[in-house]
Homo-oligomer: A and B are copies of this chain.
Amino acid sequence: MAKKRIAIDMDGVMADLNQHYIDWYYERTGEKVEKERLMGLPETTGFPQEGIVHHFLHTPGFFRTAPVMPGSQEVIRRLMENYEVFIVSAAVEFPQSLSEKIEWLAEHFPFISWKNIVFCGLKTIVRADYMIDDYDKNLRYFDGERLLFTAPHNINYQDYNRYDTWDDVAKFFGVQEAVTVTG
């Protein structure tokens, strides 16, 4: 039987962009922003200086230097044993990010083939059995099983089963949890 297919988002799911926003903000302004302050607000907003974090998205190197979401490497590697995993990033809106994202994946997820990487605009084009994403706009039109990965901007979403960590995702799919998260 063919393996079932999982489509996994990058930003906010494999890459911890919120931590990256907070770190960049601290480096550039000297001000530490608590994650709690961002809860329920649109992504990149909620920082004392409005607009500066959205500007980070267009800065060369921003996506290349994003931290890896804890547990994502171990859990995705295990998922690949039993599932066909595709990385699906709505990255075409930010063309300069494409080569950075390929390099980032090659560094942190070298076990993922270029054959299984997708950069798109709308994710309505994606055919898969499961989608793991942090945005309603991506999950809404997906006709398979939808897993909402928790991010500060989505804590008020009510319409999806929610997964706070990669360990939660591992439990859903019945694979071993990540040592780095449970330890």
Q: Which residues of A contact B (CB under 8 A)?
A: 5, 7, 86, 88, 92-93, 95-96, 98-99, 102, 113-122, 124-128
- Cβ B122 vs Cβ A125 within 8 A: no
Q: Which of A92, A117, A127 has the most CB of B within 10 A?
A: A92
- Pick the residue among B113, B120, B122 that contacts A121 (CB under 8 A): B113
Q: Which of A5, A96, A102 has the most CB of B within 10 A?
A: A102
Known: A92-B117, A121-B116. A99 touches B102 (CB 8 A): no
- Cβ A121 vs Cβ B125 within 8 A: no
> Min CB distance, A107 to chain B, in Å?
13
Q: Give every chain B residue within 8 A of A125 (Cβ-Cβ).
A: 5, 7, 86, 88, 118, 125-128
**How far is B93's CA from A122's CA once the two chains are assembled, in angstroms?**
21
- Cβ A92 vs Cβ B114 within 8 A: yes
- Cβ A119 vs Cβ B119 within 8 A: yes
- Cβ A120 vs Cβ B122 within 8 A: no
Instruction: Name the residue of chain B whose CB is nearest to the CB of A86.
Output: B125
Q: Give every chain B residue within 8 A of A98 (Cβ-Cβ).
A: 95, 98-99, 102, 119
> Min CB distance, A94 to chain B, in Å?
9
17 A-B contacts (beta carbon < 8 Å): A7-B125, A88-B125, A92-B118, A92-B119, A93-B114, A95-B98, A95-B99, A96-B99, A98-B119, A113-B121, A115-B122, A117-B120, A120-B120, A125-B125, A125-B126, A125-B128, A127-B127
- Cβ A114 vs Cβ B121 within 8 A: yes
> Min CB distance, A71 to chain B, in Å?
24
> Min CB distance, A171 to chain B, in Å?
26
- Pick the residue among B96, B102, B116, B118 that contacts A118 (CB under 8 A): B118
Instruction: Name the residue of chain B whose CB is nearest to the CB of A84.
Output: B124
